[in-house]
Amino acid sequence: MSASAKPIIIAADYLTLERAAATKSEFCEGEIFALRGTSINHARIVMNFAGELSSLLKGRKCEPFASDLRVKVEASEFYTYPDLLVVCDDAQFEDAHLDTLLNPTLIIEMLSDSTEQYDRVKKFNFYRALPSLQEYALVSQAAPRVEQFLRTPEAEWIYRVATDPAASVQFPSIDCQIAISEIYDRVEFPPDLTAPPDPRERAA
């Protein structure tokens, strides 16, 4: 999310501007925020995840969408573009444009240094107000790590995390399982700066 914001406007004006714009922006608490570009790791993870979801959900009632589909949280008039989402049953839209979804079942966001705190806290607070949402996943770009928040029948949220590159992640909300190795296929992780230096490098 960009650090600079436009003057406070109403949601209807945001939608008019957004539908005519060449780039994507979010709408939060009366302000418009331009979305930044993504890294190659981000793009690879999204493509890998989308491919797996598309294959696993083919012919089923749940359908995956990538970041071009806008989501609205009606309780707060928050508009955003999740990196990935899955909607089950009949998709519900804000209006006849069919470009603003109201009832995602699963939302997946790729974490970055600039957005991690926002995705973990503020955005999740908005997402939790979606009655349809059953699962929220956060995916690291820096290491194999998939975090999940699962809604219980009592409307509480259970946290779990998967970090084993040889393991798979179960997504109960859509009854799917995806190998972590598939999610991170071709992804090149940054060096671990906390690891002790290789003595061979010092000798060289």
For 62-103, write each residue's pLDDT tens digit: 999 998 899 999 999 999 999 999 999 899 999 999 999 999
Would you give the distance in Å from CA 168 to the centre of its chain?
Answer: 19
The pLDDT assigned to 65 comes to 96
Residue 120 exposure: Cα atoms within 13 Å on the Cβ side: 12
- On whether the CB atoms of residues 121 and 127 are closer than 8 A, the answer is no
In this predicted structure, the answer to whether residue 110 has a pLDDT above a threshold of 90 is yes
In this predicted structure, the answer to whether residue 201 has a pLDDT above a threshold of 60 is no
- On whether the CB atoms of residues 77 and 11 are closer than 8 A, the answer is yes
The pLDDT assigned to 103 comes to 98
Contacts of 82 (CB under 8 A, 6+ apart): 67, 71, 104, 107, 108, 109
The pLDDT assigned to 192 comes to 67
The pLDDT assigned to 185 comes to 97
Domains and CATH numbers, the chain: 38-187 (3.90.1570.10)
pLDDT band (50, 70, 90) for residue 118: very high
Minimum mean pLDDT range among 26-30, 102-106, 112-116, 171-175: 112-116
pLDDT band (50, 70, 90) for residue 1: very low
- On whether the CB atoms of residues 14 and 32 are closer than 8 A, the answer is yes
Round to whole Å and give the CA distance between 88 and 95.
19
Q: Write out the two tokens for 137.
A: 């996943």
Round to whole Å and give the CA distance between 109 and 196.
31
pLDDT band (50, 70, 90) for residue 197: low
- On whether the CB atoms of residues 126 and 149 are closer than 8 A, the answer is no
